[in-house]
Amino acid sequence: MAFDFTGYMKTIAEKLKEIKHSDTAKEKKFFRISSVMNLDEMLPTFTTSGSPCLMVEDNDVGRYQEADGSQSYLDNQSYSFVILKHCAQLDASDREQIKKDCKAMMKKIISKFKKDKYYDQTHPGEVRTGMRDFDIASVFYQSLGPVGDNYYGILVQFSMLEPANKDLVFNPLDWIDG
């Protein structure tokens, strides 16, 4: 079963007290984006978007790698999300506080990742969260802004390192003259 990153992050947006996204609310606080440079779902509603808001990049990005030269392969899957908060125009102290607030929310989300990873690893055969393969050492973050109607925040990227040997089995029946 593939990891449902968008669904997982939507639940985080709904349950994190600072965000409290609801599909029925007037101000949307959760968005899917194609990339950080293409905030397609959010752009039409920037003036009515909630603050803070959470965006997830819904593109597949990854690479295969060999683990320790052992012919054991990993699917190194990359994921990104953005936390943005509206800022007063030309207010440097507000901008700095917003960056600190977004970084604090990022830490809460990463701590949830760690908690869910631990749960998935300690309950073999049960996949509750999909975070079993979360790689804390891969977390990268960077401040963003201004975006749209003066939003500032943080971009967060991380990897999931999933064993890939079962997915990379050569089957001669897939080939003409195998």
Give the per-residue pLDDT at 109.
97
pLDDT, tens digit, for every residue of 130-152? 898 999 999 999 998 888 778 89
Which residue(s) pair with 156 in the sheet?
81, 141
Instruction: Write the CA distances from 112 to 12, 34, 85, 98, 159, integer angstroms.
Output: 9, 24, 21, 21, 15
**Assigned fold of 5-105+133-167:** STM4215-like (3.30.2000)
Full-prediction pTM beyond 0.75?
Answer: yes
pLDDT class for 46, splitting at 50, 70, 90? low
Q: What are phi and psi of 16, to 5 degrees?
A: -75, 120
Give the per-residue pLDDT at 45.
58
Task: Check residues 174 and 6 and name the one with the higher pLDDT.
Answer: 6
What DSSP designation does 135 have? Answer: E
Task: Check residues 162 and 122 and name the one with the higher pLDDT.
Answer: 122
Examine the pLDDT at 36 and tell me if it is beyond 70.
no
Query: How high does pLDDT run on average in the chain?
Result: 85
Structure tokens belonging to residue 164: 């890939």
Closest Cα to residue 156, out of 57, 52, 8?
Answer: 57
Give the per-residue pLDDT at 80.
94
Task: Check residues 30 and 178 and name the one with the higher pLDDT.
Answer: 30
